[in-house]
Amino acid sequence: MELTDFWFGTIAVLWIGYFFLEGFDFGVGVLLPVLGRTESDRRVMINTIGPVWDGNEVWVLVAGGATFAAFPEWYATLFSGFYLALLVILVALIVRGVAFEYRGKVNSDRWRANWDRAIFWGSALPALLWGVAFANIVAGVPIDKHHEYTGSLLTLLNPYGLLGGLLTLGAFTLHGAYYLALKTDGSVRTAANALARRLAPVVVLVAATFLLWGQFRDGRPLSWALTLLAAGTLVGAVGASWKGREGWAFALTGTTLALTVASLFATLYPNVMPSSTDAAYSLTVDNASSTDYTLKVMTVVALAITPVVLGYQAWTYWVFRKRISNHHIPAAQSLVPAARSSAEPSGTTAS
């Protein structure tokens, strides 16, 4: 295997990890105003992702760094052409991170409500825009012979791109609902299960439309196989939810997201960014890559660091594996900002 192919596959794996892990905490953020009917419910929801959301974002940072180092031409064209959409995502992620840290600093309903809105929009906008970006990358965007993007933000807001955004927003929200059903007990768990059953048919319809549209246009045997597997796991997740198998429902929606990203990358290869202007102007794994020496150094560093990253993330999820319910949440008056209350069991964080 060529190192360019290895790093193309590695970047795909990084995006798979990001969509699986960040997907459910985006979903929790989107559902905060829907399922969080009381302050106690909202704190339960936030505490389910409190110990892990920032670790989940590591995957997108590494994916961006790997793209910059392994495929600098791809990185340059992508970030210069999509800069406005990516800037919105960056600002949303920053505001969302600040909101998690600051909502519990002042004992005021108005203060918390404002930060809750920030969590919602900081989750919903990236969830939507990542789908728009990926759909356009796979479908192709206007790139000239100098490998420069010649479109605008409105170019990206085409029907296929917007449908991709609706898919990621809906799929992440469903993934988050299944995560809440798995990680909570009491009123939040009941509400999450009920909402997931209403939302699932809509997500299935959007997913089927988007995936079939892309495969009929650009599909190949491998991407078709991955697409059909994604469809099967999504239907399986819905069935598991109806049977009360919350762990299986969450795992299968995560698998659906993983297979969907894998299908998009399989459709894309050997391109990394197709040109809709002229196929000869497309960026590929060969003409967009770094030197062989650079890729060799990157491979050695990745093999040394990756086990450490996977190890600490696995440990974090293991430590905070228990369900959370309203009786674990202390009264707002006794909440100590930036510290964990002694009333909270292992596996929760104060919010």
Give the tens place of pLDDT for each residue, 298-327.
999 999 988 888 898 899 899 988 998 887
Element (H, E) at 47: helix 39-49
pLDDT band at 332 (very low <50, low <70, confident <90, very high): low
- The yes-or-no verdict on residue 268 having pLDDT over 90 is yes
Structure tokens at 263: 């299908």
| pLDDT higher than 60, residue 6 | yes
Q: Is 284 helix (H, G, I), strand (E, B) or coil?
A: strand
- The neighbour count for residue 184, using CB atoms within 10 Å, is 25
pLDDT band, residue 343 (cuts 50/70/90): very low
User: Strand, helix or coil at 145?
Assistant: coil
Beta carbons of 100 and 119 less than 8 angstroms apart: yes
Among 187, 198, 210, residue whose Cα is nearest residue 238: 198
Give the per-residue pLDDT at 29.
96
Number of helices (H), then strands (E), in the chain: 13, 2
What average pLDDT does the structure give for the chain? 90
Euclidean distance between CA atoms 263 and 266, whole angstroms: 5
- C-alpha 257: how far from its chain's center? 9
Answer yes or no: is pLDDT of 56 > 80: yes
Q: Model-level pTM?
A: 0.90
Q: How far is CA 103 from CA 33, 42, 120, 196, in A?
A: 14, 11, 13, 27
pLDDT value, residue 1? 67
Q: Angle at Cα 207 formed by Cα 63 and Cα 179, nearest 5°?
A: 65
Between CA 199 and CA 6, with CA 165 as vertex, the angle to 5 degrees is 115
The half-sphere exposure of 185 on its side-chain side, counting CA atoms within 13 A, is 9
Angle at 224 between CA 273 and CA 73, to 5 degrees: 10
pLDDT of residue 153: 85
Fold of 3-334: Formate dehydrogenase/DMSO reductase fold (1.20.1630)
> Rg of the Cα trace of the chain?
21
Residue-wise pLDDT for 225-248, tens only, equals 999 999 999 999 999 999 999 999
Structural contact between residues 125 and 88, judged by C-beta atoms closer than 8 angstroms: yes
Q: With 80 as the cut, is the pLDDT of residue 97 above it?
A: yes
